[in-house]
Chain A
Amino acid sequence: MLTEKPETHACSCGGKTGGCAKKQETVEETAPHHGHDHGHEAAEELTDDEAARKLSMSRRNFMKHSAIVAGAATAAACSTEELEKFTAHRLREMTQPELKQLIKRLEADYKKQFKKNVEVRATPAAEGVKFGYALDLSRCIGCRRCVHACVKENNQSRPTPEGEHNNPIHWIRVLEMEKEKGIDLSDANPYYNPAEVPREGHFYMPVQCQQCENPPCVKVCPVQATWKEPDGIVVIDYEWCIGCRYCMVACPYGARRFNWAEPNLPADQLNPNTHVLGNRPRPKGVVEKCTFCIQRTREGRYPACVEICPVGARKFGNMLDPKSEIRAVLESKRVFILKEDLNTRPKFFYFFGI
């Protein structure tokens, strides 16, 4: 389907339609300015401890804003922290004290950025848990409530009001397909109007990270910034990702999203209950994706998309627990997975309940 489609509620690309091209032309002339906290950003760049290496970078900043002065003032105070940032390990290899330190730093950063207390947890995977997801295509009506619940819960970047540097992110993409053709991705439409659903002769197929057991994205990451947790969730270390986007190229499900610009997350819309590998606010230039709401599911709650679904199309649970809902679906329904020939072995199953 073309991106040249009129109204788009669930565009997950940030670059819908001709709009992009037009925007980019104007970008050249307009002064770099958008509505995030410049002071914070400048401080970050300046105080970075590879100061020598970055001299040229901070020089570039001279043309930026007077915020640089504020940045310089905090430079001395932060320098040890910044050194830690530079020498830090990947989150996966961190010792408990290192992890605690990281969380303390992140919480302080968020407090400064959003003027709001944000709790960053690092709840580990529980023993004997392997999460699985099932989606009933007969029930789904394509209302996209899951998409928006996900955005709210997981602190994704929102569209910018003026449309400049617009980088809205959705982790779920709902495809509209024709009943006559069956599941045919080459004919799927992600830009349908959700006010008209369910449309006659159509059905809907939401696609999000399939949490593969054999994930191509993990294999290709050149810096091991993404991996599969013991409970089966594929996560990303936002402090380690270099933003090369090779994982996005490798993903057969279009599940991964890139922060093409500084994410636009207004403080009043921020969800302060976060997980370090999940919905905590992300920086510019890194990749993100669905984590089965790791901040909820590791605390025994349902993912936001499961909770919001008005027709109960979404099922979730621990596949190792014989009494779980997901096991009931797997045993009583005939399920299928997307692109099974690629041997990615998703833990996200589809079925037709009726």
Chain B
Amino acid sequence: MFKHLLQFLTGAARYALKGGPTYYAWIAFLLCLIGYGGWGYAHQYQEGLILTGMRDQVMWGFYIGNFTFMVGVAAAAVVLVIPAYVYHWGPIYEIAIIGELLAIAAIIMCLGFVSVDVGRPDRVFHLMPIIGSPNFPRSLLSWDVMVLNMYLVLNVTIVSHMLYSAFFGRKPNANIVVPLVLLSIPAAVSIHTVTAFLYSGLAGRPYWNASILAPRFLASAFCSGPAIILILLQILRKTAGLQIKNEAIWKIAELMAYAIALNLFFLVAEVFKEFYSDTHHLIHTEYLFFGVGEARGLGLYAWTSVISTVIALVLFIVPATRKNFFTLNVGCVLLYIGVYIEKGIGLVIPGLTPDTLGEIYAYTPTAHEVQVAAGIFGMGFLAFTVMIKVAIPVALGKLVAKPDGSAPTAGADTDDAHGAHVGA
């Protein structure tokens, strides 16, 4: 058992280290990003969060915004398994694996963003059961820590079992994988719901204190998550020999069109309620779209978000543009930008501006925050790249253990091969 595990790990590691110049360049770039962000964080660890633009009036900012967005990506990635199953897209395991790996990378980034945001990283173990004192079930933040970690463990378990089996030429144990994959779907919904409740449960913050927040979170997640996956699938079928039918991609795009429409509808519902009732609470929405008084607000971002999402909706609804890979990819990028703004700074900052006593502190992230965030993105991308580099050939049966148990062998030598056909 131990020998097999070692063999699996060394085989995977050896394969992960092999690649063309593009692969090495990409990895080097990511390592630079991580180093750059790590340097920034070392500085922050010593000086404190004073290096960020956050202050007592706006005490959460870019870090928590990115965290919230990434929870959405993690949730949506796995839910793709449902249509993959319903519509018989073929390599269901492979699609599931891609989704799970994206979820793992996204959770890594989530945990990274939360960790850099706390003032006492040396005490985060207080959040853990037994050695710490989680305020469970009262605090939604302790719920969030719990569900995110459970979700991470769940996905890691599923993926490692599937890949481990494939590596040794066995079929994954359906009795283990199927229930776990099924469980991961409500778990995906739950991580995002809990994250939404973390905001919507606060009576003192009217901008967030809306029942529609959780549905909105899910709708926007089903826009941004698949937008990443669509592009990933196209890259992987070119570089890793993954067989994905065009129809599958178009179907995902079609399903995304519903999610975009729903997301815009929720936005309209909120905007209507705020402007028509015209209470003091409107000021947060005004700050988002127009600014208040001398404070310019987030208008540029907010309108970019709305306009990109609307254009993406058109591109995804019209069959001709949906089936044209250029316009489809443009739509994906626009959608990603739209949701990134909406769920990041567009959610966090107006919720805190003006503050509870009416003061407007115009928060903008500092260069330092961007630097640290770049490091975390680097970490997530690196984790995803390395995992997917190994996982695809293993799942496709290209990278398997030799019968004698010595060294693993890769069918196609480098992944830069031309998508040669392989029997899965």
A and B are interacting partners:
yes
A244-B118 contact, Cβ under 8 Å, with A185-B358, A220-B141, A342-B204: yes
Where the two chains meet, the residues of B that have a C-beta atom closer than 8 Å to any C-beta of A are 42-43, 45-57, 59-60, 114, 117-120, 122-124, 126-127, 132-135, 138-142, 145, 198, 201-205, 280, 283, 293-295, 352, 354-362, 364, 366-368
Contact across chains for B294 and A2 when beta carbons are under 8 A apart: yes
Chain B binding surface SS class: loop
A57-B280 contact, Cβ under 8 Å, with A1-B359, A216-B204: no
Contact across chains for A285 and B203 when beta carbons are under 8 A apart: no
Q: Which 4 A-B pairs have the closest CB atoms?
A: A243-B119, A285-B119, A252-B204, A15-B55
Determine the distance from Cα of A24 to Cα of B293 in the docked complex, in whole angstroms.
24
**Residues of chain B within 8 A of A185, CB atoms compared:** 356-358
**Residues of chain A within 8 A of B120, CB atoms compared:** 241-243, 283, 285-286
Contact across chains for A186 and B280 when beta carbons are under 8 A apart: yes
Determine the distance from Cα of A240 to Cα of B117 in the docked complex, in whole angstroms.
16
Determine the distance from Cα of A257 to Cα of B55 in the docked complex, in whole angstroms.
9
Can you name 5 extra interface pairs (CB under 8 A) apart from A14-B56, A15-B55, A184-B358? A3-B360, A220-B135, A220-B201, A222-B139, A241-B123
With an 8 A cutoff between CB atoms, is A261 at the interface? yes
**Residues of chain A within 8 A of B352, CB atoms compared:** 249
Contact across chains for B50 and A167 when beta carbons are under 8 A apart: yes
Contact across chains for A21 and B354 when beta carbons are under 8 A apart: no
Contact across chains for B359 and A3 when beta carbons are under 8 A apart: yes
Bitwise interface map of A from 214 to 230 toward B, beta carbon under 8 Å scored 1, else 0: 00100111111100000
CB<8 Å pairs between A and B, sample of 23: A2-B293, A2-B294, A15-B57, A15-B361, A25-B367, A60-B45, A60-B46, A165-B47, A165-B50, A167-B48, A185-B356, A220-B201, A220-B202, A223-B135, A223-B142, A225-B126, A241-B123, A242-B123, A250-B202, A250-B205, A252-B204, A258-B56, A286-B120
Determine the distance from Cα of A249 to Cα of B49 in the docked complex, in whole angstroms.
16
| A287 CB to nearest B CB, Å | 8
Contact across chains for A219 and B139 when beta carbons are under 8 A apart: yes
Shortest Cβ distance from A248 into B: residue: B59
Shortest Cβ distance from A220 into B: residue: B139
Across the interface, A260 reaches (CB within 8 A) one of B49, B142, B366, B368, namely B49
Contact across chains for B46 and A32 when beta carbons are under 8 A apart: yes
Determine the distance from Cα of A258 to Cα of B60 in the docked complex, in whole angstroms.
12
Contact across chains for A90 and B139 when beta carbons are under 8 A apart: no
Determine the distance from Cα of A284 to Cα of B47 in the docked complex, in whole angstroms.
9
Determine the distance from Cα of A25 to Cα of B371 in the docked complex, in whole angstroms.
13
Determine the distance from Cα of A211 to Cα of B142 in the docked complex, in whole angstroms.
23
Contact across chains for B48 and A249 when beta carbons are under 8 A apart: no
Bitwise interface map of A from 325 to 345 toward B, beta carbon under 8 Å scored 1, else 0: 000000000000001001100
**Residues of chain B within 8 A of A60, CB atoms compared:** 42, 45-46
**Residues of chain B within 8 A of A175, CB atoms compared:** 357-358
Contact across chains for A249 and B59 when beta carbons are under 8 A apart: yes
Shortest Cβ distance from B369 into A: residue: A24
**Residues of chain A within 8 A of B56, CB atoms compared:** 12-15, 248, 254, 256-258
With an 8 A cutoff between CB atoms, is A37 at the interface? no
| A218 CB to nearest B CB, Å | 8
A27-B145 contact, Cβ under 8 Å, with A13-B361, A254-B357, A342-B204: no
A222-B280 contact, Cβ under 8 Å, with A240-B123, A284-B119: no
Determine the distance from Cα of A262 to Cα of B364 in the docked complex, in whole angstroms.
22
With an 8 A cutoff between CB atoms, is A106 at the interface? no
**Residues of chain A within 8 A of B295, CB atoms compared:** 2
**Residues of chain A within 8 A of B360, CB atoms compared:** 1-3
With an 8 A cutoff between CB atoms, is A110 at the interface? no
Contact across chains for A186 and B367 when beta carbons are under 8 A apart: no
A186-B354 contact, Cβ under 8 Å, with A28-B368, A57-B45: yes
Contact across chains for B204 and A258 when beta carbons are under 8 A apart: no
With an 8 A cutoff between CB atoms, is A173 at the interface? yes
Contact across chains for B141 and A13 when beta carbons are under 8 A apart: no
With an 8 A cutoff between CB atoms, is A112 at the interface? no
Contact across chains for A216 and B283 when beta carbons are under 8 A apart: no
| B197 CB to nearest A CB, Å | 11
**Residues of chain B within 8 A of A64, CB atoms compared:** 46
Determine the distance from Cα of A260 to Cα of B44 in the docked complex, in whole angstroms.
10
Determine the distance from Cα of A246 to Cα of B134 in the docked complex, in whole angstroms.
14
**Residues of chain A within 8 A of B366, CB atoms compared:** 21, 24-25, 27
Chain A binding surface SS class: loop
Determine the distance from Cα of A54 to Cα of B114 in the docked complex, in whole angstroms.
19
**Residues of chain B within 8 A of A7, CB atoms compared:** none
Determine the distance from Cα of A186 to Cα of B202 in the docked complex, in whole angstroms.
19
**Residues of chain A within 8 A of B53, CB atoms compared:** 15, 20-21, 24
| B333 CB to nearest A CB, Å | 30
A187-B358 contact, Cβ under 8 Å, with A219-B138, A223-B134, A286-B119: yes
With an 8 A cutoff between CB atoms, is A99 at the interface? no
Contact across chains for A188 and B357 when beta carbons are under 8 A apart: yes
Determine the distance from Cα of A4 to Cα of B296 in the docked complex, in whole angstroms.
12
Contact across chains for A90 and B133 when beta carbons are under 8 A apart: yes
Contact across chains for B205 and A249 when beta carbons are under 8 A apart: yes
Determine the distance from Cα of A34 to Cα of B50 in the docked complex, in whole angstroms.
13
A188-B140 contact, Cβ under 8 Å, with A13-B56, A21-B364, A25-B367: no
| Chain A CB within 10 A, most for which of B118, B280, B368 | B118
**Residues of chain B within 8 A of A262, CB atoms compared:** 47-48
With an 8 A cutoff between CB atoms, is A40 at the interface? no
**Residues of chain B within 8 A of A278, CB atoms compared:** none
With an 8 A cutoff between CB atoms, is A47 at the interface? no
Contact across chains for B48 and A260 when beta carbons are under 8 A apart: yes
Shortest Cβ distance from A60 into B: residue: B42
With an 8 A cutoff between CB atoms, is A281 at the interface? no
A222-B141 contact, Cβ under 8 Å, with A2-B295, A64-B46: yes
Contact across chains for B359 and A28 when beta carbons are under 8 A apart: no
Across the interface, B361 reaches (CB within 8 A) one of A3, A188, A216, namely A3
| Chain A CB within 10 A, most for which of B56, B122, B205, B354 | B56
| A232 CB to nearest B CB, Å | 19
| A127 CB to nearest B CB, Å | 27
With an 8 A cutoff between CB atoms, is A122 at the interface? no
With an 8 A cutoff between CB atoms, is A279 at the interface? no
| Chain A CB within 10 A, most for which of B120, B127, B366 | B120
**Residues of chain B within 8 A of A250, CB atoms compared:** 202, 204-205
With an 8 A cutoff between CB atoms, is A346 at the interface? no
With an 8 A cutoff between CB atoms, is A107 at the interface? no
| B139 CB to nearest A CB, Å | 5
Contact across chains for A190 and B359 when beta carbons are under 8 A apart: yes
**Residues of chain B within 8 A of A32, CB atoms compared:** 43, 46-47
With an 8 A cutoff between CB atoms, is A125 at the interface? no
**Residues of chain B within 8 A of A34, CB atoms compared:** 47
Contact across chains for B204 and A245 when beta carbons are under 8 A apart: no
Shortest Cβ distance from B365 into A: residue: A24
Determine the distance from Cα of A32 to Cα of B46 in the docked complex, in whole angstroms.
8
Determine the distance from Cα of A338 to Cα of B57 in the docked complex, in whole angstroms.
18
With an 8 A cutoff between CB atoms, is A251 at the interface? yes
Contact across chains for B361 and A222 when beta carbons are under 8 A apart: no
Contact across chains for A242 and B204 when beta carbons are under 8 A apart: no
A224-B50 contact, Cβ under 8 Å, with A60-B42, A242-B126, A254-B355: no
